Structure 1
Amino acid sequence: MGDEYDSGDDLFEGVTESELLRPSQPKRPQEFDDDVDFTELINNSDDASAPNKRARTSPELKMRLAAKVLEETFGYGFFRHEQRDAIRRILDGENTLVVFPTGAGKSLCYQIPAIVFEEMDRETGERDEGDSGVTIVVSPLIALMKDQVDALRRRGVAAECIDSTKTWHQVQEITADLRCGKLRLLYCAPERLNNEGFVESIKYVRGGVRLLGVDEAHCISEWGHSFRPDYLKVARFVQEVQAERVVCLTATATPVVADDICKAFTIAKEGVFRTSPYRPNLYLQAMTVNADDKFDLLFTYLRRHTGSTLVYVTMQKQAEEVAWFLRTVKKFKAEAFHAGMKPEVKTRVQDQFMASEIDIVVATIAFGMGIDKPDIRNIVHWDLPGTVEEYCQQVGRAGRDGEDSYCMLYLCERDFYIREMFARGDLPSRQGLRSLFKDIFNDEVRQLPAEGTFKTSHHAQSSEFDIRLSPLGVIYALLELRFNLMRATAAEYSAYSFEAASSYLTHLKCNNTPEAKAILSHARKTSNSKYHHIDPTAVSRQTGIPRTSIIRRLNDLHDAGALRLKTSGVLNKYKVLGTLPRTDGEIDQLTDKVYAELEGRETQAMERTQQVVDLFASPTCFARGLARHFGMDLPDGSVRCSRCTFCVLGRPLWPPPMPPKVVSHAGIQRVLAATAVRDDPRFLARVAFGIRSPRVSRLGLDKKAVFSSLWDHDFKSLLEEFTKACEIKQEPGLGGI
């Protein structure tokens, strides 16, 4: 996922319930009697101030307070789209799904209620001061969380986020604020929900969890375009912390995905609020091109369409090449942006684009989430987006000021290869999957009792069994949530190293704690390195000092500037829940079930690519096809937007011609001659097609001429040919394993 995403760490490990218990239980709102007149405002109640008769909150009061917060805190004079009805339902205590286009104000649907809860309690006396609880927002990107927290703080709202950049002391301050009821909003990543210490801390937040906001909620659906396994655990978290209500938010939910979200969080049909993705100021354009013509076409297009522009590409190398061409050859103010760049460079590019100091950013999908630049005039898709949802999100960043904006998509034959390369890269071989399960459920793990814990290294397993980290995460999520075999807990680092400052020894010698003594005596420094190394687990085992106490002291020294701490070697921890597979037969059954799931995901990925092509190749207005993909239509029953390429030309976009699918047997033999691998035909097909995997990289085959040599072939045909070669066990060629 890249370093923008958070990961579970052990900042909450060792937190006890006694440290988190609130000083007094919150006074929950009393149940309303059937004959209560809900239309009566609280200031008409004779006994509203009586301590033994808490006033009840009327619907009118709730929305009056919501409108007040909208204007005074956020500076808006009125609600947009379906915001009012969604917020009313949330304040009434009902679970809600909000499907608004990018930039339509989804975040206000949880930010306003989070503030209104405290306002309601203050006016009605339903709860004592400090008992108003907290709104927790699950969000996938650290940068987005930080941006929203900073914006809320500027408006005087008590908000915080917990992520892997926080120090131990900062987390303790946040915990104390939760305990005292000071925070109104707390942002965290979905991975945080694996941390049992964090979950326990939230159970005892003063006032409880009034609302859980699930941002990018489409990630919970395995049918969605951006499925993330950790999102499946959010619904469990709701039950564990007894959140009073939930609001799920997304810009891209097809009817099937929306049904998945509603099922996971028990949202009734009347609790779904949708706004059409149709934007009348966007010109949706597309054209079929030859790959060699793209640079000249892009140059001509940008000369005619000036203003702030985003050019979306699929791969990091493309971003660099296209940006170089525009900047160096054609003299545009253009920069690249992708996940492989240093954080400070990405920040600089984003800031310059927002300030209109550069006109064009050539970016992968890594750029754009949370960008709210109203005057983006052009969106160009250099090649085929992965999904219709991705396309919708990206074009939705244009023209938020209501002015005309243009969205051009180039479609060429090479695009299909790139998309198939991504789709085919995630499915491991069946043998690799079976070997993974043998490794996970080894003799030592099988002997563990219920609630017993074990550790694995996902990075090591990825390399050993030739499974990318992303599908490996899906596999572990299936074992946890579909088969109920185990549960992820907080990951830990196996290795700690640090560079000592001049005050290092002084700090430790002046500190007479067991932890300081243990660090001083066990941290080792090699003669040819400036780093000290320490294994907290081994030190804990030898000294009896809790591992978390040693880590806490290392963090203290880091925060004090006595050392500069580095961590590595993430170990994923799991707790045994059910009866684990013990026999070869049980391992085979599990392998078959999980492999079928993964095969289905590969098929879905290919189908999503075809949906993008169909959006432009079907005899339908582009804007209407886009709206109908999400279960909606154009306003007033219109069938044409009158602005897209289809409406202007009166015909669909013809897909580029595909080359004949004739297998090159000479090419097959060259791949077989380059490696001795014969145990995995999918591995050989990946090499021929140009798909990197841990094993491909380890053997250096991605550096040989045979890599990607058959990229224009049908992948299934390659797989069939290499399956035959493996079955007859040809003589090994060069290279070997």
Structure 2
Amino acid sequence: MNTFMQRNENAPSRPLDTVLRERFGLTGFRPGQREVIDALLGPGAAALAVFPTGGGKSLCYQLPALMLDGITVVVSPLIALMKDQIDALERQGIRAAKLDSSQSLDDAREVTQALRDGAIKLLYVAPERFNNERFLSLLRELRIALFAVDEAHCVSEWGHNFRPDYLKLAKAARDVSAERLLALTATATPSVVRDICQGFGIPESNAVITGFYRQNLTLETTPVEAEDRDALLLERLNTRPPGPTIIYVTLQKTAERVATFLAAKGLPAQAYHAGLESEVREQVQERWMTSGNGIVVATIAFGMGIDKANVRAVYHYNLPKGLESYSQEIGRAGRDGAPSVVELFACPDDVPTLENFAHGDTPTAEAIQGLVTELLDMGPELSLNLYALSTQHDVRQLVLRTALTYLELEGVLRQGTPYFVGYKVQPLVTLEELVGRFKGERAKFLRDVFAAAKKGRTWYTLEPTVVAESLQQPRERVVKALEYLQEQGLVLTQVTEPRQHYTRLHSDKGADALSTLLVRRFQQREAQEVARVQAVLKLVTHTGCQSNALVSHFGQWREAPCGHCTFCRTGEAQVLPATRPRPSLPAKLDVAAFRALVARHPEALSHPRQSARFLCGLSSPALTRAKLGGHALFGALDAWPFAEVLGFCRQTMT
């Protein structure tokens, strides 16, 4: 049953076409846009927009935001998208803002006041923001006309980019009495569409899917040996018409090497990846955005939320990790409708690296058992240091948050508002002057707070919980007092030691049953990620129109061949080169040195899966703490499939 009900008095009065023309300067809607907006403004008050990358999803919430009384909240994990859209809206005279952890207290306070004053029409936030009870309280004060969730495929744990915090967004929308809900994504298989509709209470009849077929994209798949890729890429770039180009690679070191190689050949290529300083990434992106022939060699960290219409070519130097990623990445080419080429260099030697990423995220059964047992032994109120918990059990933080979300879904835990254990406070006036601004009990309370703190040269250090207990006051009063002093410009504050608060709920499942359930779910996800890689290879070797095969993965059926994919052009199915033979393990490995290393670092390497991660070059919290990422043996077997390396480790360590 749909729970988002439109208020009658909030019905828009102006025609859609008028607002489209007057506020956005557009003369017509793109496919699907009007249907989505009609669904939002109609009795159902909820819709799902599945549009291809560059298909105009943002207009589906920006236009209604101007027509409705109240605020439109846009939830997106893409900081770049938030900034770009806010800047564009401001240029159109539409007041928009964001709230995120990078903002100063003054900036956040200014946005909060503008929301209360009704001066903001669109508010952009990340999904993690809804774990903050204070933020939810703010939204409950406001009229939320529309709650829009971008990248909505993240709600599906069987989708290609599952994010645990997305599972809570539907409940958050109801908690803040949102009048309408809009989910948006560029990539969703039929099963993910069902998950989104079910999760957000959207009638499936209000799911608007415009299709994934792009007539202006020439889709090429080229089987190639690993050592021939550089020459092939160079030949393509030199013989095809120049234009803005993206070259996707898997690893950061590959991005650097290929960019250096192309630059040495006189091409305007630069690397972009998450390992670069943020200023460098911004410079690379800005230079490429303003260039008419720039080339960026990038990991998948590049492209999300970037709106450049004239990208003429997208090359996949390495295999993408799945058809969902592939579709999203090639969708960045030719958004202006002009002919563009997307080419995939298909090399089976890439498969172990991609599959190993999936294996690297799967925790050991022992780690899950230890984690669940510890959580259940903590009592009714849990204060979790996620960094420490991640390191202690050697579980990556994203995997840890996923496990905690699974426990929430099982009714074992309920997450509360995150908080900080420690505060550092620097008075900007003398303590006597600060306290003197207050009278009576409030003045005494502040004096006692500072007396209970540890005084340094200029900073006071305190734990609000400890101070509150010593003063027999609520912790919240101590925190609010410090925040008030900061707002008044009387002190500077810094927070330390973040904690996640959870409440233990009644559950009839014990540690063993819950551990088994979590292990099974992580194993299912691992198998699914491995299958995604194989689906890419099947597309390359498909006998028939590859464009049609790609869109069929997303539930779109086309009968006529496209005429502009490799199969349609050649009439032949592609044949992958044979995987280069690898010597049997333990080739390339100094087994004696490895055994000695395991003996010295049992907390990081004693489990066969931990050792296999290390040898495949997959980091983990325990490896990071032991500073083993720079060891000569780290990644020594990264060209071998994880399953082979795991089998070798089991045999070697028994």
Is the pair's TM-score, using the shorter chain for normalization, greater than 0.5?
A: yes
The 3-state SS of whatever aligns with 2:267 is coil
Residue 344 of structure 2 is aligned to residue 409 of structure 1:
yes
Structure 2 residue 629 is matched with structure 1 residue 694:
no
1:190-209 Cα offsets, whole Å, 9 max, x none, are 1122222222332332xx32
Q: Does 1:142 align with 2:65?
A: no
> Which of 31, 54, 59 does residue 108 from structure 1 map onto?
59
Q: Does 2:470 match 1:542? A: yes
- 1:273, distance to aligned residue in structure 2 (A): 0.9
Q: Distance in 2 between matches of 1:515 and 1:408?
A: 68
Q: Is the 8 A contact 2:273 2:299 kept in 1?
A: yes
Question: CA–CA distance in 2 between the matches of 1:714 and 1:459?
Answer: 29
Alignment of 1:161-172 (within 5 A): 161-172=98-109
- Answering whether residue 246 of structure 2 is matched by residue 310 of structure 1, we say yes
Q: Deviations over 1:168-210 (max 9, x none)?
A: 44444444444444433222211122222222332332xx322
2:486 and 2:260 mapped to 1: Cα distance?
A: 40
Matched residue type, 2:644: S
Q: Give the Cα separation in 2 of the matches to 1:595 and 1:435.
A: 12
Tell me which of 595, 598, 605 is aligned to 1:672.
Answer: 595
2:560 to 626, 638, 650: 638
Matched, 1:237 2:172: yes
Q: Separation in 1 of the partners of 2:422 and 2:280?
A: 29
Q: Is the 8 A contact 2:546 2:566 kept in 1?
A: yes
Structure 2 vs 1, CA of residues 92 and 363 (structure 1 numbering), >3 Å: closer, same or farther?
Answer: same
Aligned to 1:22: none
Tell me, in whole angstroms, the C-alpha distance in 2 between the residues paired with 1:436 and 1:650: 54
- Does 1:463 pair with 2:391? yes
Q: What amino acid maps onto 1:323 in structure 2? A: A
Find the aligned partners of 2:42 and 2:407 in 1 and give their Cα distance: 37
CA distance in 2, matches of 1:220, 1:425: 22
Instruction: Indicate if the aligned counterparts of 2:6 and 2:179 stay in contact, CA closer than 8 A.
Output: no
Which residue number in structure 1 is paired with residue 407 of structure 2? 479
- The answer to whether structure 1 residue 365 and structure 2 residue 365 are counterparts is no
Looking at structure 2, the residues matched to 156 and 415 of structure 1 have their Cα atoms a distance apart, in angstroms, of 48
Q: Does 1:703 align with 2:619?
A: no
Q: Is the 8 A contact 2:427 2:459 kept in 1?
A: no
Identical pairs, percent: 38
Contact 1:65-1:116 within 8 A present in 2 as well: no
Q: Read off the aligned partner of 2:249 and give its amino acid letter.
A: V
Which residue of structure 2 lines up, in the alignment, with residue 587 of structure 1? 511
Counterpart-to-counterpart distance in 1, 2:469 and 2:584: 59
Paired letter, 1:605: E
Measured against aligned partners, the alpha-carbon deviations of 1:40-86 in whole angstroms (never above 9, x if no partner) come to xxxxxxxxxxxxxx8x96xxx76x52211111111101111011111
Aligned partners of 2:145 and 2:179 also within 8 Å: yes
Aligned residue in 2 for 1:608: 532
Please say if residues 168 and 555 of structure 1, whose CA atoms lie closer than 8 Å, have aligned partners that are also in contact: no
CA separation of 1:256 and 1:371: change in aligned 2, threshold 3 A: same
Query: Could you say which residue in structure 1 is the equivalent of 2:275?
Result: 340
| 1:102 maps to amino acid | T
Structure 1 position 227, deviation (Å): 0.5
Change (3 A) 1:565 1:385: farther
Q: Give the Cα separation in 1 of the matches to 2:430 and 2:343.
A: 58
Deviations 1:250-284 (A, max 9, x none): 00011111011111123223211111222222111
- 1:356–1:505: structure 2 CA closer, same or farther, 3 Å change rule? farther
Deviation at 1:233, TM superposition (A): 0.5
What is the distance in 2 between the residues matched to 1:324 and 1:78?
44
Alignment of 1:609-628 (within 5 A): 609-628=533-552
Q: Cα distance, 1:92 vs. partner? A: 0.5
Shift of 1:395: 1.1
Other-structure match for 1:285: 220
Query: Quick one: distance in 1 between partners of 2:463 and 2:76?
Result: 32
Q: CA deviation at 1:307?
A: 1.4
Equivalent residues of 2:223, 2:347 under 8 A apart: yes
Aligned counterpart, 2:571: 650
The CA deviation at 1:375 is 1.3
Correspondence for 1:21: none
Partner deviation per Cα, 1:502-524 (whole Å, 9 max, x = no partner):
86879847755567646755665
What do residues 328-376 of structure 1 show as CA deviations (whole Å, max 9, x unaligned)?
x223222222223222222222222111177111222111122111111
- Distance in 2, Cα, partners of 1:605 & 1:416: 12
Which TM-score applies when normalising by structure 1?
0.80
User: Which residue identity is paired with 2:141?
Assistant: Y
Structure 1: segments with no counterpart, 5+ residues: 1-26, 31-53, 118-131, 729-737
Distance change >3 Å, CA 516–CA 375, structure 1 → 2: farther
Render the CA deviation track for 1:116-163: whole Å, top value 9, x for unaligned. Answer: 12xxxxxxxxxxxxxx23222211123322322232233232332221
What amino acid maps onto 1:301 in structure 2?
R
**Matched letter for residue 631 of structure 2:** K
Conserved? CA contact 2:547–2:565, under 8 Å:
yes
**Deviation (angstroms), 1:303:** 1.7
Could you give the per-residue CA deviations for residues 649-706 of structure 1, whole angstroms, max 9, x where no partner exists? 2222322322457742564944334312485221122223222212223334443343
In the TM superposition, residue 228 of structure 1 has moved relative to its aligned partner by 0.4
Which amino acid counterpart does residue 63 of structure 2 have in structure 1? I
Q: How does 1:70-81 map to 2 (within 5 A)?
A: 70-81=20-31
SS of the residue 2:24 aligns to: coil
Query: Taking structure 1 as reference, are residues 715 and 345 closer, same or farther at Cα in structure 2, changes over 3 Å only?
Result: closer
- Work out the CA distance in 1 between the residues paired with 2:290 and 2:473: 52
Instruction: Tell me what 1:400 maps to.
Output: 335
Alignment root-mean-square deviation, CA: 3.0
In the TM superposition, residue 288 of structure 1 has moved relative to its aligned partner by 2.1
Report the Cα offset of residue 533 of structure 1: 4.3
SS at match of 1:325: helix
Matching of residue 272 in structure 1 with residue 194 in structure 2: no
Contact (CA 8 Å) 1:659, 1:712: kept in 2 or not?
Answer: no
Q: CA contact under 8 A between 1:353 and 1:361: conserved in structure 2?
A: yes
Q: Kindly provide the amino acid, as one letter, of the partner of residue 312 in structure 1.
A: Y
Tell me: CA distance 1:718–1:343, structure 2 relative to 1, closer, same or farther (3 Å). closer
* CA distance in 2 between partners of 1:199 and 1:580 (Å): 30
Give the secondary structure class of the aligned counterpart of 1:414.
Answer: helix
Which TM-score applies when normalising by structure 2?
0.89
Cα gap change, 1:656/1:166 in structure 2, threshold over 3 Å: closer, same or farther? same
Contact map agreement 1:504 1:563 (CA 8 A) in 2: no
Match of 2:152 among 217, 227, 231: 217
When residues 518 and 426 of structure 1 are mapped into structure 2, their CA distance, relative to the original with a 3 A threshold, is farther
The answer to whether 1:92 aligns with 2:68 is: no
Q: C-alpha displacement at 1:494, in angstroms?
A: 2.9
Please, which of 568, 574, 584 is the counterpart of residue 502 of structure 2?
574
**Further displaced range: 697-706 or 259-268:** 697-706
Residues 580 and 136 from structure 1, CA distance in 2 versus in 1: closer, same or farther, beyond 3 angstroms?
A: farther
Quote how far apart the aligned CAs of 1:579 are: 3.5
Give the deviation of 1:384 after TM superposition.
1.0
Contact kept, 8 Å, 2:352 with 2:642, in 1: the verdict is no
Over 3 Å counting, the alpha-carbon distance change for 1:475 and 1:333 in structure 2 is: same
Q: How does 1:378-393 map to 2 (within 5 A)?
A: 378-393=313-328
Cα distance, 1:502–1:379 mapped onto 2, change above 3 Å: same
Matching residue's letter, 2:402:
V
Are the equivalent residues in 2 in contact too, given 1:491–1:573 (CA < 8 A)? yes
Structure 1: distance between partners of 2:350 and 2:337 = 32
**Alignment partners' CA distance in 1, 2:577 and 2:423:** 53
